[in-house]
């Protein structure tokens, strides 16, 4: 029997709800294939950009937030990509490319062979962290 978390639909790791770095690192370690390496890069970029970032796993997704603004971003694995959700993404400049059915949310999807623009990502992360977040 494996000690690895079960993968849900689309290869998303099933990780118990928890607060802090440990459950987020467990999620990243369980991301299948190339996604784990990208998850590590994204997590490190978020930490560099927002040194006092808060972390949690909720609904089988890592969440990132600040103590004064709330949760501003989450990650989720799908079969062929990782989706970054910016909860107040419609207020970011320039707009992240992915639209949502939710009024203020914008997405960025990262596929296996995509080149991550870490400068743009860091700017969106910084902007998002300064906007009112979600209290989940």
Using N-to-C axis directions, what is the helix angle for 34-49 and 21-30, rounded to 10°? 150
Note the pLDDT of residue 3: 61
Note the pLDDT of residue 4: 64
Structure-token pair, residue 124: 């969106």
Do the beta carbons of residue 6 and residue 16 sit within 8 Å? no
Q: What is the pLDDT of residues 10-27, one digit of tens each?
A: 777 888 899 999 999 999
The distance between the two most distant Cα atoms of the chain, rounded to a whole number of Å, is 47
9-130 CATH choice from 3.90.1150.200, 3.40.50.720, 3.20.20.390, 3.40.50.300: 3.90.1150.200
Average pLDDT by stretches of 10, the chain with 136 residues: 65 88 95 95 98 96 96 96 97 96 96 96 98 85
pTM of the model: 0.93
Do the beta carbons of residue 69 and residue 125 sit within 8 Å? no
Note the pLDDT of residue 135: 82
At residue 117, the 3 state secondary structure works out as coil
The Cα 13–Cα 11 span in angstroms is 6
């Amino acid at each position: 029997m494996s000690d690895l978390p079960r993968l849900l639909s689309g290869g998303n790791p099933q990780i118990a709800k928890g607060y802090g770095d440990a459950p987020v690192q467990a999620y990243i370690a369980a991301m299948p294939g190339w996604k784990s390496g990208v998850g590590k890069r994204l997590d490190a970029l978020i930490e560099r950009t927002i040194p006092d970032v808060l972390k949690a796993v909720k609904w089988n997704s890592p969440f990132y937030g600040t103590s004064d603004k709330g949760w501003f971003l989450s990650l989720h694995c799908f079969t062929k990509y990782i989706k970054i959700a910016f909860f107040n993404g419609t207020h970011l400049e320039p707009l992240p490319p992915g639209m949502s059915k939710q009024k203020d949310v914008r997405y960025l999807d990262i596929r296996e062979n995509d080149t991550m623009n870490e400068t743009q990502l860091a700017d969106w992360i910084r902007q998002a962290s300064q906007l009112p977040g979600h209290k989940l």
